[in-house]
Structure 1
């Protein structure tokens, strides 16, 4: 019997445990540290969001929430590790658009988890738009400059946080709109990718806004365009892609998910505690500073959200022709 089948059997069995027993189990939870796996390298948006919400959860739960970075394979390595973990409420993953919506379609049979069935999705934490930035010495200031460089001999290198990220899909879509293949340079997280851009090793990066915010404000990178429906309230001087003639909009999302089979009362409590953290004015203000919008969904709401994202992205990934080496 495969691990996935065993986990679904355990999930079914846990559903038959009397609610009084589940409540008693939840009352003793948490009694030890909770591990939050970030399936990207340190320094990127997923990592930034995870550490912010972990700090708030620690105060409310009274235990340490340990952030562990396990990057690789479009965020699927860390996510698979959590899917295989004991469903005892002490291991979560920072579920996101890459690990749970794009990479399962992009990597196909190499992804050994189902993004819906193999997780107990607890809470949506934040959503945010994508932004393209460039090294100040690259001679790029607008998306028109990007188009001109991409069509010149040698083309244009564009860094992302990794294969399977929403920002990778942005590169694929821009290649389609430009009619020329952009040179996708994937890294093991937004942090390493950004450092390569700042160092001048790669001229441009397709990124999620939170991991670019500090660098934009410091002037270490130049913003080229925001992939939002309208200009962002925190960055009114950055034009959207659509304003510059490219009909592209992209929004990343990040949440908390346990392995399937985790007692429902624990999942529900994590949802309540997370929403309480996100309602804190300081946390909410911090997310606004980072260009994100705090989530506020129930357990069922977040589960349905993930299910819709999977259904929406799978055909788009296939239609894009994007593949992994």
Structure 2
């Protein structure tokens, strides 16, 4: 019996009918000719009216197609099936490295895959950041970013090989923390006020080290100079670890270092802590005053966030974000954050994106006013 069109159309599933190019009608029906067009081709024989069970198959096959198409977004939520590489763009042993390893240690339990911390320092973190920006957005490569890689890089590097906004997908803001202003014990000052006065009375005698040009450990010192006229000279290092060794040895006199990296040296008497750079005293070191108590309006916070390459599917970004939040909610991780003096952050990816924008504007102004350039 030759094929002929049925008089009554069975409803097509929304997932197919709504996207048909010729359809402009209600959602629960299909355009004239659409069913014939859908059954055209080798598979059409199975849907012809003279085929056994055709009416039953019409009712079941098309809704089944809608179910199948609707299942694809769920597949994208699965974590990648290969080990994850977390690029740390600063030297080993710094705060960025410490935080990355806290998360990596629990990656296997959360994502079903190990996370390898890959140290790629250089050029104020931009070398490692560029590698991640050029990677595939499949969830296997992540970056533990910080202000030097995203907030200050554009102002410092005219030929930056990546765009801090367009080339990354924010995943999670991990932590914010203050820097601690600390001096070698040989420097005869015990407060920010005394440091400012001593530097002015003895110009050229106070050198401060940082993790590199454009790091908050650098810009914290430049901000103090702009606001108070303190006479301190910047000495950039390739990472905080090397600068800290020289501070302990007396080769430099001052640092504005991330609190977790330096607080133990202060508590054990090897260095003298003067103030923290946050607007409020740190809960982990409430005995140490803020710079703002002496210099109103002063504030310099460091932050650490995880980024994926641009193009990473949104469901995968969400899955990574949720997994990292669960890791950070672990009581052992929370306790370690308190020990380090870091303030845990667990806001949405958009919070990290907004922080990048705001810090780029604020630190960009400091860089221009202080006329900071990369040699």
Fold shared per TM-score above 0.5: yes
Q: Aligned pairs, how many?
A: 306
**Larger Cα-atom Rg:** 2
In 2, distance between residues paired with 1:36 and 1:248?
A: 33
- Aligned positions of 1:287-306 closer than 5 A: 287-306=337-356
Alignment of 1:211 with 2:261, yes or no, is yes
> Residues 263-301 of structure 1, C-alpha deviation per residue, up to 9 Å, x if partnerless?
211111110011111111221121111111111111233
Alignment of 1:61 with 2:116, yes or no, is no
Aligned to 2:83: 33
In 2, distance between residues paired with 1:295 and 1:82?
A: 23
Secondary structure at 1:137's aligned position in 2? coil
Q: 1:25 to 1:192 in 2, by over 3 A?
A: same
Alignment of 1:224 with 2:274, yes or no, is yes
Q: CA shift at 1:135, angstroms? A: 1.6
Q: CA shift at 1:305, angstroms? A: 3.0
Aligned to 1:50: 100
> Residues 47-81 of structure 1, C-alpha deviation per residue, up to 9 Å, x if partnerless?
11111122233321122111111111111111111
Structure (1 or 2) with the greater helix fraction: 1
- TM-score w.r.t. the length of structure 1 is 0.88
Corresponding residue to 2:137 among 87, 98, 106 = 87
Of structures 1 and 2, the one with the larger relative CO (CA 8 A, separation 6+) is 1
Q: 1:308 to 1:153 in 2, by over 3 A?
A: closer
In 2, distance between residues paired with 1:149 and 1:19?
A: 69
RMSD of aligned C-alpha atoms?
1.9
- Where does the alignment leave 5 or more consecutive residues of structure 2 unmatched? 1-68
Aligned to 1:120: 169
In 1, distance between residues paired with 2:220 and 2:152?
A: 12
- Where does the alignment leave 5 or more consecutive residues of structure 1 unmatched? 1-17
In 2, distance between residues paired with 1:220 and 1:178?
A: 27
Contact 1:39 1:78 in 2 (8 A): yes
Q: 1:58 to 1:255 in 2, by over 3 A?
A: farther
- Aligned positions of 1:175-324 closer than 5 A: 175-245=225-295, 247-324=297-374
